[in-house]
Amino acid sequence: MKNMNILSLPSKFLLYLKQVKVEAKKTNWPTRKETIRYSLVVVAISIVVAIFLGGLDFLFSTLLKKLVALLA
């Protein structure tokens, strides 16, 4: 295991924070309009998937209940 100097940890942490700041400035952030549009797309897709999975759940539970009633 590599011997780590405890005293160098604060300076390494500060260097890390400086590098994070530099990289964050390079980030291409979406506009407010894009963020709203992307959020609405995510919500819409989530609703469609929820309806689809709810429909499958209803279908399978109904079929299973009929199967159990048939076999009982």
Residues 6+ apart with CB under 8 A from 30: 38
Read off the pLDDT of each residue in 11-24 and give the average, rounded to a whole number: 93
User: How would residue 44 be classed by pLDDT, with cut points 50, 70 and 90?
Assistant: very high
Whole-angstrom Cα distance, residue 49 to residue 27? Answer: 31
User: How would residue 4 be classed by pLDDT, with cut points 50, 70 and 90?
Assistant: low
φ, ψ at 4 (rounded to 5°): -105, 130
Q: What angle do CA 69, 60, 55 make, to 5 degrees?
A: 135
Please give the model's pTM, rounded to 2 decimal places: 0.62
Read off the pLDDT of each residue in 66-71 and give the average, rounded to a whole number: 94
With CA atoms as reference, report the closest residue to 48 among 40, 58, 59: 40
- Domain ranges across the chain: 30-72
